[in-house]
Amino acid sequence: MKRVVSFSIGFLFVLSLLAIQLAPKPTAKPNIIVIFMDDMGYGDLGVYGATEYQTPNLDRMASEGIRFTNFMAAQAVCSASRAALLTGCYPNRIGITGALFPNAGKGLNQQETTIAELLKGQGYATGMFGKWHLGDTKEFLPLQHGFDEYVGLPYSNDMWAVDYDGKPVGENDWRKKAFPLLPLLSGNDTLRAITTLDEQAELTGIYTEKAVNFIKKHKKDPFFLYLPHSMPHVPIAASPRFKGKSKQGTYGDVVMELDWSVGEILKALKENGIDDNTLVVFTSDNGPWLNYGNHAGSTGGLREGKGVSTEGGQREPCIVRWPGVAPAGTICNQLASNIDLLPTFAAITNAKLPDHKIDGVSILPLFKGDNQATPRKIFYYYYRRNNLEAVRRGDWKLVLPHEGRSYEGQQPGNDGYPGKAPENTPYPMALYDLRRDPGERYDVQATYPTIVEVLQKIAEEARQDLGDDITKRPGHNVREAGLTAKNK
Amino acid sequence: MKRVVSFSIGFLFVLSLLAIQLAPKPTAKPNIIVIFMDDMGYGDLGVYGATEYQTPNLDRMASEGIRFTNFMAAQAVCSASRAALLTGCYPNRIGITGALFPNAGKGLNQQETTIAELLKGQGYATGMFGKWHLGDTKEFLPLQHGFDEYVGLPYSNDMWAVDYDGKPVGENDWRKKAFPLLPLLSGNDTLRAITTLDEQAELTGIYTEKAVNFIKKHKKDPFFLYLPHSMPHVPIAASPRFKGKSKQGTYGDVVMELDWSVGEILKALKENGIDDNTLVVFTSDNGPWLNYGNHAGSTGGLREGKGVSTEGGQREPCIVRWPGVAPAGTICNQLASNIDLLPTFAAITNAKLPDHKIDGVSILPLFKGDNQATPRKIFYYYYRRNNLEAVRRGDWKLVLPHEGRSYEGQQPGNDGYPGKAPENTPYPMALYDLRRDPGERYDVQATYPTIVEVLQKIAEEARQDLGDDITKRPGHNVREAGLTAKNK
């Protein structure tokens, strides 16, 4: 008996060693993946309330990680939000606002530091598969901003000479001149032109395949993978495998395919044995493009959507999965923004921050599950042309007087065509208590005059720093976008 | 070596047997606990978005179970919601609507079947600790409705002759006559009177202690424990241990203490070795009582609150923990209601449903994690005096014309005193797409006339069945509340 017991104890010891061996062992250089949606709304995933289709992979990812409820895009429009994500700066600090059109003659300035450059400096392999939208001439493309590999569209998938129902537009249509070609790039070269909706439907699959191959190839390196999908931006299209699968038309089908893609990425991490040492962040660039009726997503009840500095425009779904670090199945309600990713990744990898001023702060305590940490106390809602439209401190949001682009009362079309643009109306000052009123419905400035004062002071600090076109205040710490030779 | 291997294999076999033994083994008779909040809002827990205080026990419970996002109280007021929960019926079907005042002369009819009676028939021990509110004369009290044990208040904690700041009211105050005594009952007897706010602050602790003792005493039985707290209904009060602990005043302190209480219950299950065979359901009776300013909770952005048939009045936090059955860390967005608990518990325990008509349906598939199941397709929003104010099918809600009790635009006081009652205004018909617009903001009836027709038909079916005071339609399948002898 004695022998059995000692064997058993010995075996138990081996088992525990094995368990220690198998347990998550986060290193100072975890792989980092950022999966970025285009125009996905706050309410578009199962875990954020969607009911007409299933997102099992993202729901599971949330149950294995942290789901954020106050994660803000830096601006409610494509190029600006992407510039912010990659550089850790408010987009107006670096001169990239709004959405860049093809041949815009400008792009992300070489002097900015992207996440890819920062992590490359720490020995990371860097790959990007998807939509860039930070300048479409060679000098601005991803390979010139720290990425080793790149396949994707240089700008939005609606910047082509094709009608919303998939038919090429006539010779005199404005789009014929503005958008001559929708190129699928590989590195700096055009692989081929995307000319039909069916080809658009392949994009999610193409990006996913490239990403999975990249993971496999670099499973022994630390790597940074940036996967900004072109979908569910209009024109939406799902591959044959997902067509008709949801109860919510093409939009639901497309989100289901994106969810599948996330599942493939997470599966690839497991299959390559690096699941326990990889941080995955999932979020979206801005809220749903409500003009497009049922070709747009849902804000889950937040006010308005893309192109507006309301919560519906800027509050995003965000899920962080990091086994052994981010506590499973938890929720983080603290304020954070996509400008905080660069400094967070720097903190994780002990990388030096850029010498120039950035706006992000490390939210690593939140990634580690400290729900009482408040690394981001203040957030500025700038809109393109450097308009300071609102400021936020904790749960208090002061909307400053500006030209409104409100979708209130709009009845978006249901056919996927743009609805009637809302009238421009002045937006008066309003104070919202986002804790009790995330829908920005009840102006409570009369009840809380002291809070208004505090927030007005914060707005003034923003103007001092970054400027404000509305009040004709110049910024003191702003930099410029990069210009092409002919625009210099 | 051979011997080592065979020993090891043998040991592994024993280990696996042990593992099987230790794994959750849900029986047909799990213990069932229902924890019920009073006036807690949809946004009042960390996992539902609260930021000013922490609810670690409930957050963990959600990460170990299912969090519901479309769980409806049957009516937005105390007695009605409790009657519905315990009987599986719309409250107007059984004649209990609104809130019963002391000496109302009526209560829950003996002919109704409560969850306690149903489970008692299956061999369950039954205990209740907390607020009853279904009749305060002996014949209506919990012991006469299937509970073996009871300690608690017979009605709401504000039904006493004490002012909102804790001072006894004067001799001529209306409360002096209406609420002569706030009795803490034990069984059918008054244990003592609650006369001060400090005594109110003990209630959460008292109920919790009784519940923990009940769990210990019945760890070998199957048991049903109903724990309807008196808090956070006004007048709110936290025990010294929690006073000043939150960043949200007394309200936050009180919710933190309730969260502690949930932690004690879950701890007791573990300590008594029955954690794996106990189903715990946590929810609230109705939305926050917004009149009370910062002495009320948050709807998390849903429209209005207690006393109104909006989502803010009736949509409740709901967390279901059932190890081995309810998948951990998941979210259920499907429609369900507190009237569905009785038939669900019946399905779990193979109990026979009552012979009379009930309204609940078993939502056991949702408890088991089937997110595509839609056991409840339709929901009626009745308000007291049998007013059919809205009907819902899936995500579509048709609000029928009725007298409005809107809190829109109200500026609730911040001192814990009732705000000014809102003006009664007519509420016209409106169609809301709750998937895209859970805040009930955009009336889309003009866009979806067919949906309006379908919902009007459903409203007509409700009137045929249960009646409608607004359109002067008598109900065909309604029963009566029980009356005291002198009221018969």
Q: Where are the beta strands (DSSP E) in B57-165?
A: 66-72, 106-107, 125-129, 149-152
Decide: helix, strand or coil at residue B41: coil
pLDDT class of B20 with cuts at 50, 70, 90: very low
Say if residues A440 and A397 touch (Cβ distance below 8 Å): yes
* Residues of chain A contacting B70 with CB distance shorter than 8 Å: 51
Report whether pLDDT(A224) > 70. Answer: yes
Q: Is the residue at A5 inside a domain?
A: no
| Mean pLDDT of the B87-103 span | 95
Interface probe with A: pick from B291, B335, B395, B436, most Cβ of A within 10 Å: B436
ipTM: 0.85
Between A488 and A80, the more confident residue is A80
For B333, the closest of A50, A333, A394 (CB atoms) is: A50
Any residues with CB less than 8 A from the CB of A17 and at least 6 apart, and which? Answer: none
pLDDT at B436: 82
Between A167 and A192, the more confident residue is A192
The verdict on A329 and A394 lying in the same domain is: no
Q: Is the residue at A322 inside a domain?
A: yes
Contact A414 B447 (CB under 8 A): yes
Report whether pLDDT(A376) > 60. Answer: yes
pLDDT at B418: 74
pLDDT at B410: 54
Contact B63 A64 (CB under 8 A): no
pLDDT at B11: 52
Contact B52 A437 (CB under 8 A): no
Q: Which of B322, B347, B377 is the last residue before a domain boundary?
A: B377
The radius of gyration computed from the CA coordinates of chain B, to the nearest angstrom, equals: 23
Which chain B residue shows the shortest CA-CA distance from A53? B372
Between B144 and B52, the more confident residue is B144
* Cα of A98 to nearest chain B Cα, Å: 25
| Mean pLDDT of the A118-135 span | 98
pLDDT at A80: 97
Element (H, E) at B215: helix B203-217
Q: Is the residue at A16 inside a domain?
A: no
The verdict on B119 and B136 lying in the same domain is: yes
pLDDT at A50: 92
Burial category of B163 from C-beta neighbours within 10 Å (exposed 0-12, middle 13-18, buried 19 and up): middle
Beta-strand relationship, A223-228 and A125-129: parallel
Q: Is the residue at A134 inside a domain?
A: yes
pLDDT at A21: 44
Q: What is the pLDDT of residues B404-423, one digit of tens each?
A: 765 555 555 666 777 765 66
The verdict on B356 and B401 lying in the same domain is: no
Q: Is the residue at B15 inside a domain?
A: no
Q: Which of A24-38, A250-264, B20-34 is predicted with the least confidence, judged by mean pLDDT?
A: B20-34
Q: What percent of chain A has pLDDT over 70?
A: 91
- Whole-number average pLDDT of chain B: 91
∠ CA A368-A372-A375 to the nearest 5 degrees? 75
Which chain A residue shows the shortest CA-CA distance from B409? A442
For B329, the closest of A51, A328, A437 (CB atoms) is: A328
Instruction: Please give the Cα distance from B404 to B406 (Å, whole number).
Output: 5
| Mean pLDDT of the A233-244 span | 96
Between B427 and B338, the more confident residue is B338
Report whether pLDDT(A164) > 80. Answer: no
pLDDT class of A19 with cuts at 50, 70, 90: very low
The verdict on A86 and A143 lying in the same domain is: yes
Q: What is the CATH number of the domain that holds B460?
A: 3.30.1120.10
* Cα of A169 to nearest chain B Cα, Å: 29
Q: What are phi and psi of B438, to 5 degrees?
A: -65, -15
Q: What is the pLDDT of residues B252-290, one digit of tens each?
A: 999 999 999 999 999 999 999 999 999 999 999 999 998
* Cα of B219 to nearest chain A Cα, Å: 29
pLDDT at B19: 44
The verdict on B316 and B396 lying in the same domain is: no
Q: Is the residue at B21 inside a domain?
A: no
| Mean pLDDT of the A367-380 span | 95
Q: Is the residue at B9 inside a domain?
A: no
Contact A329 B333 (CB under 8 A): no
| Mean pLDDT of the B434-438 span | 87
The verdict on B335 and B390 lying in the same domain is: no
Between B381 and B171, the more confident residue is B381
Q: Is the residue at B8 inside a domain?
A: no
Q: Which of A40-44, A240-244, A344-348, A414-418 is predicted with the least confidence, judged by mean pLDDT?
A: A414-418
Residues of B assigned a catalytic role: 78, 133
Report whether pLDDT(A180) > 90. Answer: no
The verdict on B267 and B202 lying in the same domain is: yes
Q: Which of A99-108, B7-16, B357-366 is predicted with the least confidence, judged by mean pLDDT?
A: B7-16
pLDDT class of A7 with cuts at 50, 70, 90: very low
Q: Which of B377, B400, B430 is the last residue before a domain boundary?
A: B377
pLDDT class of B16 with cuts at 50, 70, 90: very low
Report whether pLDDT(B226) > 50. Answer: yes
Residues of A assigned a catalytic role: 78, 133
Contact B54 A298 (CB under 8 A): no
The verdict on A245 and A364 lying in the same domain is: yes
The verdict on A477 and A358 lying in the same domain is: no
Q: What is the pLDDT of residues B399-408, one digit of tens each?
A: 999 987 655 5
pLDDT at A3: 46
Q: Which of A376, A394, A410 is the last residue before a domain boundary?
A: A376
The verdict on A185 and A283 lying in the same domain is: yes
Structure tokens at A232: 């569910």
pLDDT at A487: 82
Domain total of chain A? 2
Q: What is the pLDDT of residues B68-78, one digit of tens each?
A: 999 999 999 99
The verdict on A64 and A194 lying in the same domain is: yes
Report whether pLDDT(A261) > 60. Answer: yes
Q: Which of A108-117, A468-477, B326-335, B400-409 is predicted with the least confidence, judged by mean pLDDT?
A: B400-409
Contact A63 B330 (CB under 8 A): yes
Q: What percent of chain B has pLDDT over 70?
A: 91
| Mean pLDDT of the A152-156 span | 98
Range of the structural domain that residue A54 is part of: 29-376
pLDDT at A133: 98
Q: In the A/B pair of chains, how many CB contacts fall below 8 A?
A: 115
Contact B331 A447 (CB under 8 A): no
* Cα of B44 to nearest chain A Cα, Å: 9
| Mean pLDDT of the B338-360 span | 97
The verdict on A309 and A452 lying in the same domain is: no
| Mean pLDDT of the A143-152 span | 98
pLDDT at B425: 75
Report whether pLDDT(A417) > 50. Answer: yes
Q: What is the CATH number of the domain that holds A268?
A: 3.40.720.10
pLDDT at B488: 77
Report whether pLDDT(A5) > 60. Answer: no
Q: What is the pLDDT of residues A210-220, one digit of tens each?
A: 999 999 999 99
Report whether pLDDT(A341) > 60. Answer: yes
